[in-house]
Structure 1
């Protein structure tokens, strides 16, 4: 809200005079005019906005656990060395601990303590940013337009961890909401605390149409999030999101390193970069969110080359897989949370799975995948079954994958993982082919 407390007091006094009201009655009417249930609530909001200034982050969820999760993500991002996140901890002289992260979140919202932030959430629904978030959540275009007209400053305001409405809209995967905000003047280059932009989200969620909207509005393609080299293209290729990756690459291959070349199935670029120091450049980005464990990419030439094989596998980049193998990259290295075969199986990349097996990848290799509470001691077959990728499951079994291996966390076989994922066809296939099942 761009109005000052002094302006609101003047409005209340004018209304009191014009209607012969008590001051408290006039103040209540003014508060309700702006969507607040009481004058004290309106006054507290305006005072917080005025005191904190443009750096204020607006709360928009009334669930305390949401902010605890955001604090955890903030800590993970600062641990990774993301500049804006590190600066936030330094600004409030907060230690890189869970308690320090909660303090940063509270202070960024204009409160002196975590307890004060939690108390604030009980009356959150009246605030303009929170109302706009609800409009996004319910995909209510008319309500969003009305709020942007009534409170035009919302288009440049930031919510928790620096997420603006455009970034939050992109996370809904609804291009219509993104278009409304772009029409209202949203900053297509806005970065949240992790360096994440709306274009990163389009890459993360494999949304080519949304990416086109953002690119047409001149969204930058060279911005790094969650570490050096974490561009929208790199984020897309981390998940093997080929459709949006191809679109983004048309606006520039950034960063130009071996893992990106492999993910794009660009054999010529793979061959060019293989002997070059540029192959391992800009690899500070290694996880799109804090759900993956911490890691530090090294400058090891072997690590760089083996990681590229993993990025080729998850994108079904069969030509790049073949070229990388010819040049000497490992088929079974677990550079970071998943061998090439595990990534290909988890993403349902049948061609990549078959090619890796043809080249000699171990069908029952045990490793890690995903977050620390997910794939420990799992095989490619576990993750193919978990995703219900029937043809991939069959290809792995045909190659001799062992359907009886149990993972280290839950003691589950691939058939157990298929059942947990709700994929009865994959479960039945595994049981027919010699698999067992454990709870």
Structure 2
């Protein structure tokens, strides 16, 4: 049996109850429970005790023993932070830091600008504490403070319970000050280049590197001096096998085929070694360095990144390696590239030895996504009918992957340009700042006033929230040309 995935923010009490339930089921001779014992207990006893059930529970989740599982849960609790849930403070230094830094949960438009305004009204905030000195890049004041007390470099405090280096790399001030010099000062005085936290208990660390690079599901901006900060951190010993950085700039958020971050991480050993201190601390809940490369190649195939694919293959990524994230659906990179119309990536993978035989429905999908009208016609009406019934979201996928020709072909085949798969194709184009696909959808009859099912927002609302300026301007012009809607 495969090892199970430990739930995020795990509860020791819940796991204790799970072990007790397992013990009860074994005593009742429930076949599934007996199978678990046979699979995961190294020496199954004739009579199972609670300690044996706890061992089986631990090994189910990839831990060698119950004490190791308890240690893991203690580490999660120790490093867990929930910055997005911190309430406003009447203390100005605390409120300044609360507003100045990314939280990955409450990063609404204009939030960090409020911190800029607060600092403009109260300039003394820049040097009010070791944490505000770091966030504002006040290198001279920071040098004086650290000379008096080097231990401040590892102090934890402020609204998020972070150390100074985290406030520095997660701050997004309009004028970041001398951030690189400030980071070097902190590192020289003992700051940990691998410092980080577990966001709301999730076991993918938000490290200092993560903060420097930004990105993510909200398309958070990088630090203004992010690349220089990232290099400094890596030179100081930060692990390049940083799963959250890779997610934020890969599978999470809008995608581009930019490779700068990958080149830097690969230069310092991404995909190699034991995984760094976070991997040692969190054990089987984090992917191995080799698996991180598999995930990245799968992402390049899924989202259409030929430059990324070439770079990763050149650094040892396996052409047929499987990514573990549910978004990949158990597909190889080659399958993902074909099924999403990324022919250049598919050709790169084929040249590296990848191959697959697609079934009829997958072959039809691949033809649609690469906008091959002749191939689509060759499948006949029965396959089209099945596709319309089983996969009405294909047109959403085409929009998500910036494929206006595929959108046009699918609409002509009868796929609904307003299909709401949580959001509509036009929402996807808006979030990608993809004017060409948005224009194609509008020409095909997409409704610019339709709202998504999660946030009750129009495509223009998505564009404005995500600061997607080009498509926002286009959608505003569309709205103006439509005129008022009555009834």
With structure 2 as the length reference, what TM-score do the two structures score? 0.46
**TM-score, scaled relative to structure 1:** 0.50
